């Protein structure tokens, strides 16, 4: 939780494709400035290499769920909470309407609003015994074909289980937060966003018996790209970062040692988004 006395620096992650983002950024800068809080901002174009010098006490996202995903990868390892302001249609993660940000911020700073803590995944790619890529994600890891020959072969196992070979268009490994993203459209289950579990979901599996499976978050997964694999294979994190894979690569996926902290984006907001987006309204009393 926050506290007015210890908040000195704020960082704004802006999606400038949203028309109202710049005006809202100016408003936040002015309001927080009156509280002697230094505010810096970054956009889609310049935040990937941003170094957060001198620390940061809170981050705001001005956009949709995609903006929150960017911010989570940057802020979660630093333990910085995120206040996600939604500038589009109702998001699963970005829940705070622009008109309410100041009230939500004040309640958080006074310790009256908490953070929803969300599991994140850490991903490492090893090639011929050497680590070539490392990253993290809040939603999902996707391993998919990049060439015309869509079907790829992946071997999936952990220390305690061997799931065997998947022949499919790809594989989604999703967090509970990411269960409502790509995974659900590929037939995966919807999980409560604060659960500690991981979804393994094949994309269009060649064998119909390959169904999505949910495993405990403490399992470490290893996914091996078959050495005889002819089609190109891509690794995608949160739908935003892509890395080409090679035959013989081993991808390890594990629960990150940190969590994304989302202010005022609790389970009730998540279920409200579910009802709205999936039309679970039912009758007037439902």
140 tagged catalytic: no
Strand, coil or helix: 2: coil
- Which whole-number Å values give the CA distances from 282 to 50, 196, 271, in the listed order? 46, 30, 14
DSSP string of 194-249? T--EEEEEEES-SSTT---EEEETTPPEEEEE-TT--S-EEEEETTTEEEEE-TT-
Question: Which of the following is catalytic: 26, 65, 249, 285?
Answer: 65
Residue 135's Cβ-count burial label (10 Å; 0-12, 13-18, 19+) is middle
Kindly state the DSSP code that residue 98 receives in the 8-state scheme: G
The single-letter DSSP state of residue 47 is: S
Is the distance from CB of 76 to CB of 177 less than 8 angstroms?
Answer: no
Report the Cα 47 to chain-centroid distance in Å.
16
Catalytic residues: 65
């Amino acid at each position: 939780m926050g506290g007015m006395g210890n908040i000195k620096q704020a960082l704004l992650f802006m999606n400038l494709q949203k028309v109202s983002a710049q005006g809202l950024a100016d408003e936040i800068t002015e309001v927080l400035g009156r509280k002697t809080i230094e505010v810096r901002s970054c956009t889609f174009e310049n935040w990937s290499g941003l170094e957060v010098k001198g620390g940061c006490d809170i981050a705001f996202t001005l956009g949709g769920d995609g903006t929150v995903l960017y911010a989570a990868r940057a802020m979660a390892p630093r333990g910085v909470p995120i206040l996600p302001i939604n500038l589009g249609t109702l998001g699963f993660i970005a829940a705070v309407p622009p008109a309410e940000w100041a009230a939500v911020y004040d309640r958080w700073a006074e310790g009256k609003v908490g953070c929803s803590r969300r599991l994140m995944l850490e991903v490492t790619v090893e090639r011929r015994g050497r680590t070539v890529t490392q990253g993290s994600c809040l939603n999902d890891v996707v391993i998919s074909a990049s060439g015309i020959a869509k079907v790829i072969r992946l071997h999936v196992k952990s220390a305690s289980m061997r799931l065997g070979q998947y022949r499919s268009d790809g594989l989604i490994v999703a967090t509970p937060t990411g269960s409502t993203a790509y995974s659900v459209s590929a037939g995966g289950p919807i999980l409560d966003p604060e659960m500690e579990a991981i979804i393994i979901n094949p994309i269009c599996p060649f064998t119909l018996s390959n169904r999505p499976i949910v495993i405990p978050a403490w399992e470490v997964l290893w996914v091996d790209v078959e050495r005889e694999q002819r089609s190109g294979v891509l690794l995608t994190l949160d739908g935003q970062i892509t890395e080409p894979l090679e035959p013989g690569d081993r991808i390890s996926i594990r629960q990150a040692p940190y969590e994304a902290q989302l202010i005022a984006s609790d389970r009730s907001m998540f279920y409200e988004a579910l009802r709205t987006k999936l039309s679970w309204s039912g009758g007037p009393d439902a």
